[in-house]
Amino acid sequence: MTDPEILRYTRETGDFSRLIASIPYANFIGLQCNKFGDDLIFRLPAKEQNLGNPVLPAIHGGVIGGFMELSAAIYLMLAQETIRMPRIVNFSLDYLRAGLDRETYAECQLTRQGNRVANVIITAWQKSRSQPIATARAHFLLEG
């Protein structure tokens, strides 16, 4: 469970460093987040330890999936103003092209929210939003 003080600090300041540091895998892969108005853009920096295919070189598919899932969970946690990490129910990922060894970005959109379940669409890209490297749909159980 994420410390409520960390979430409060993140919401008030827009500084995501403490929140990300409190999530071991997010910290490990180097996930970062910036707020632009009401929009959150998640960033995965180029990092050798995130590579799965050193020949291309390309980011490991599991790292891309983990980056997108964590982005959606953080997005939803902040959008819902909850103090708990939402529980993933289902995650469906479509890889569209190789994620090369460069900065990768993700953007989330809440598509449906009920009393118990929320659905989020995640798009990841590198050079251009118009050429995503992956898209995903995540379904989360909301704690009530």
Residue 45 neighbours by CB under 8 Å, 6+ apart:
30, 32, 103
Task: Find, among 137, 93, 135, the residue nearest to 112 by Cα.
Answer: 137
- Asked if the bond preceding 57 is cis, omega within 30° of 0, the reply is yes
* Residues 100 and 52 sit within 8 Å (Cβ to Cβ): no
Task: Find, among 78, 72, 80, the residue nearest to 139 by Cα.
Answer: 72
**Residues forming a β-bridge with 41:** 34, 107
* Residues 70 and 84 sit within 8 Å (Cβ to Cβ): no
Give, for all 144 residues of the chain, the pLDDT tens digit. Answer: 457 888 889 888 989 999 999 999 999 999 999 988 888 999 999 999 999 988 889 999 999 999 999 999 999 988 876 677 789 999 999 999 999 999 999 999 999 887 789 999 999 999 999 999 999 999 999 875
Give residue limits of the domains in the chain.
Answer: 4-141
Count each helix (H run) and each strand (E run) in the chain, helices first: 4, 8
pLDDT of residue 1: 40
Q: State the DSSP code for 48.
A: G
Classify domain 4-141 at the CATH superfamily level: Hotdog Thioesterase (3.10.129.10)
